Structure 1
């Protein structure tokens, strides 16, 4: 049996990526970039994603946002568990599990990895590759995922029945009414054994364009305290707290939160689309706040749009949005910098795109705030400046 170091050195990165259904590396480049597999919040950072060094098996990976670094075993742990090693480095059972998985991958019949010399496909194989999709939970291959397909029906929307932290979070947002939460599948879940979001999370339901449930996410209600502790501790590598947690395997970059077509039958939706087109925001709360104001918005579940999300936004703008899109990022440097690329991409597609508000507009009164914080009067002021057609 090969020792661990030899196994790490001899196992191609592409064999590991193929095992987990990930995009393969570009063999012509010395580095490969991919979404961070350790922390969902890294997709919201302006500092880039996970870098894989193809010529350095010892220091194979590094995330420019959360700081996790390591070798092939660390990458395997992240792909398997969607979190960093518990102590910053693989030790004990985590190390043994990663080694066992590496041995499994190295000896399994993984999908064939094309060699560089064979990069040109045969004529018969020139059909375009199928696009990745998020499988609805009700049809998911994993039984654990199928069991929570109807979790949205169990969510508590009455603050009187929530945990103190959940009730405090919802009460601080008066527009989060029970009716709105129930409609969107948002609420608190008691510790009943059905969910990975027990007690410490506010749960959000994520649907695909057809309205099918493809995931849930949990907003850590203790995030602010964990973030402050992380800062006090000197920002240790591998310990950066995440604000949201998703069902394992969900690719949030394939969907737009609030982008399900079942909304199109509502009268306010048609009126809002005619008035201002589609409003694009970062997170789920922003979508809900816009909904409470009678405004149609979709969210990226982050601040950086993927190519798939950009394509969908362009299609929506052309088909139902009167070719208009209003961008409403968080009014801070990170959110606005991330939306600059989206602004450029939409403009290049001949979409009539406009920034609704920023940290410098309106004499800087909204700097450091988020769209979910806006009062009714503040939104009315912004809406008028947008050029509401109604």
Structure 2
């Protein structure tokens, strides 16, 4: 091994030793250890099936940088780079250990988290000015997948999506009318995303006036469900007629109590990267950001891969996730497609500013004034193929 490579490996080893586990967990918005010594247990990041075992927790040794992690179920072991690989890809290293591109990618991610850059051609360190690292977020409680929820009643809801009705002939009149108005909301698309109407039975979380959506985490685990109020437009117009009384603004979506939607992005499942249209969309547009669930679903039918923030305002956690996604899969690019009304644009202006501060390439794909007002008063849910062509032509 030549001296330059030896120096590089030595610096990588030093960086592994000096980077704290807390920095890595904060970067991925995961719970932090209560102590800085001893062992820390967390969900295995390499194999979903480990969660079904009583030994499924990944052991993280806080005092041993060389042998940092070990899973008693899938038997994956390694240092901080191995942990980073699992957090990024949700699978073990090919061949059992990091080599080649996998090793280099893990080192690059470690440099980003630590705020330090190592040049493979020299033993000197340099400041990563072109790619500023993300500041750690304050410790916040996350969302637990329903299958591992502490409450039995919640665990029993993990597979509720299997009972959602996607056939309009079996829905309530209100739900059927809502779906028929969106001819792109096909039974196949609804089943794929876990969308539908809940029959009136004992497992119902929502009354008949809601269309239900399944919410999953990056590992495709069910976190919760939400309901779209099928009477929202009527309630909204009444609220406007009444002079917008404070405290009575209707909500378009109802979320299950305890679900922290500001911790998640709708449509952020890592397995979406296996779909060809998603890879093509990322290559062409970067990460596309919209407000809600319907926008994500509609854009999929148009060949556009998007994630939703569930509101017109993004939380700090969502902003950092978007930055991470853009750097990992979007070639440092983000395309914003807000609802083109006063509230939608106001919220996304703030999001644009926050994202631009991190050196990303941010584009605004639609607004009430772009393209001579073509999109004024409209939402991405209403876009068609011609609208996407117009947006793409402006990139």
Q: TM-score range by the shorter chain?
A: 0.5 to 0.7
Structure 1 segment 45-194 matched on structure 2, within 5 A: 130-194=139-203
Deviations 1:341-387 (A, max 9, x none): 1111111101111000110001012101101101211222222222x
Partner Cα distance (1:144, 1:247) in 2 = 13
Cα deviation, residue 257, structure 1: 0.3
Match of 1:347 in 2: 356
Whether the 8 Å contact between 2:137 and 2:317 is mirrored in structure 1 is: no
- Which residue of structure 1 aligns with residue 281 of structure 2? 272
Matched, 1:199 2:208: yes
SS of equivalent residue, structure 1 residue 248: coil
| Alpha-carbon spacing, 1:128–1:261, altered in 2? closer, same or farther (3 Å) | closer
Among 228, 237, 241, the residue aligned to 2:237: 228
Q: Distance in 1 between matches of 2:224 and 2:380?
A: 24
Q: Aligned equivalents of 1:313 and 1:198: distance in 2?
A: 33
State the Cα RMSD in Å: 1.7
What displacement does 1:198 show? Answer: 2.8
Long gaps (5+) in structure 2: 1-135
Q: Is the 8 A contact 2:302 2:384 kept in 1?
A: no
Q: Which moved more, 1:377-386 or 1:277-286?
A: 377-386
Shift of 1:248: 0.6
Higher relative contact order (CA 8 A, sep 6+): 1
Q: Distance in 1 between matches of 2:384 and 2:260?
A: 32
C-alpha spacing 1:167/1:382, structure 2 compared with 1 (3 Å): same
- Match among 254, 257, 261 for residue 252 of structure 1: 261
What is the distance in 2 between the residues matched to 1:308 and 1:236?
31
Does the 8 Å CA contact 1:190/1:198 hold for their aligned counterparts?
no
1:294 alignment partner in structure 2: 303
Change in Cα spacing, 1:128 to 1:225, as seen in structure 2 (3 Å) is: closer
Q: Distance in 1 between matches of 2:196 and 2:158?
A: 15
- After TM superposition, the structure 1 = structure 2 runs for residues 6-17 of structure 1, keeping only pairs within 5 Å, are none
TM superposition shift of 1:236? 4.5
Tell me the residue number matched to 1:102.
Answer: none
Which region of structure 1 is more displaced relative to structure 2, 231-240 or 221-230? 231-240
Is the Cα contact below 8 Å between 1:147 and 1:194 reproduced in 2? no
Tell me the TM-score normalized by structure 2.
Answer: 0.63
Q: TM-score, normalised by structure 1?
A: 0.64
Task: State the Cα deviation string for residues 287-336 of structure 1 (Å, max 9, x = none).
Answer: 00111111110000001010000100000000111111000000112111
Given that 1:329 and 1:370 are in contact with CA atoms closer than 8 Å, whether structure 2 keeps it comes out as yes
Query: 5+ unaligned residues in a row in structure 1: which ranges?
Result: 1-126
- Of residues 289-298 and 221-230 in structure 1, the stretch that sits farther from structure 2 once superposed is 221-230
- Is the contact between residue 148 and residue 195 of structure 1 (CA under 8 Å) also seen in structure 2? no
Would you say how many aligned residue pairs link Structure 1 and Structure 2? 260
Aligned-partner SS, 1:168: helix
CA contact (8 A) 2:265 2:307 kept: yes
* 1:338 aligned partner: 347
Q: Which secondary structure does the structure 2 equivalent of 1:217 belong to? A: strand
Contact 1:140 1:146 in 2 (8 A): yes
Distance 1:236 1:359 in 2: 26
Match of 2:21 in 1: none
Tell me, in whole angstroms, the C-alpha distance in 1 between the residues paired with 2:371 and 2:255.
36
Quote how far apart the aligned CAs of 1:240 are. Answer: 2.9
CA distance in 2, matches of 1:378, 1:341: 24
Equivalent pair of 2:265/2:310 in contact (CA under 8 Å):
yes
Deviation at 1:228, TM superposition (A): 2.8
Distance 1:345 1:240, change over 3 A: closer
Distance apart, 1:260 and its partner CA: 1.1
Instruction: Tell me the CA shift for residue 247 of structure 1.
Output: 0.9
